[in-house]
């Protein structure tokens, strides 16, 4: 058993990220569309348009992801954020990485 591939040439290493639980649920619903079929396909579409539109150059402020668990008085408490691992096509992952490096400098 392995991960179901929605396209060829996916990067070998996933991109771990965290999203609020409600957003994760909504993304799963959107991914059920017959044109996408998987969460990876949805995320590839989102990242493609993100690179085209560059909303961060138009005033978008990035939300800093939170941890999935925090400790209160030594007891683990869920924060409402969930981790998801995204496998993007290699070329898209490379373009995202290059854009991130450009923004960091």
**Number of C-beta neighbours around residue 46 at 10 A:** 13
Provide the number of structural domains found in the chain: 1
Residue at 36 is within a domain: yes
Reported as a single tens digit per residue, the pLDDT across 27-49 is 999 888 888 888 888 888 988 99
pLDDT band at 9 (very low <50, low <70, confident <90, very high): low
Residue at 90 is within a domain: yes
CATH assignment of the domain containing 44? 1.10.1220
Residue at 4 is within a domain: no
Mean pLDDT on 17-27: 89
- pTM of the entire predicted model: 0.71
pLDDT band at 1 (very low <50, low <70, confident <90, very high): very low
* Containing structural domain, residue 29: 15-104
50 has a pLDDT exceeding 80: yes
Residue at 8 is within a domain: no
Distance between CA 75 and CA 33 in Å, rounded?
39
**Reduced to 3 states, what is the DSSP secondary structure of residue 3?**
coil
Residue at 6 is within a domain: no
Residue at 2 is within a domain: no
Specify whether the CB–CB gap between 14 and 83 falls below 8 A.
Answer: no
Q: For the residues of 53-99, what is the DSSP string, one character each?
A: H-GGGTT--PPPPPPSEEEETTEEEE-SEEEEEE--BHHHHHHHHHH
């Amino acid at each position: 058993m392995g991960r179901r591939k929605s396209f060829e040439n996916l990067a070998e290493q996933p991109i771990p990220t965290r999203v609020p639980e409600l957003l994760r649920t909504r993304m799963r619903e959107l991914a059920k569309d017959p044109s996408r079929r998987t969460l990876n396909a949805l995320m590839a579409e989102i990242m493609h348009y993100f690179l085209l539109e560059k909303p961060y150059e138009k005033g978008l402020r990035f939300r800093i992801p939170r941890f999935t668990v925090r400790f209160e008085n030594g007891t683990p408490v869920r924060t409402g954020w969930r981790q998801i691992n995204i496998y993007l096509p290699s070329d898209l992952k490379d373009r995202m990485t290059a854009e991130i490096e450009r923004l960091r400098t």
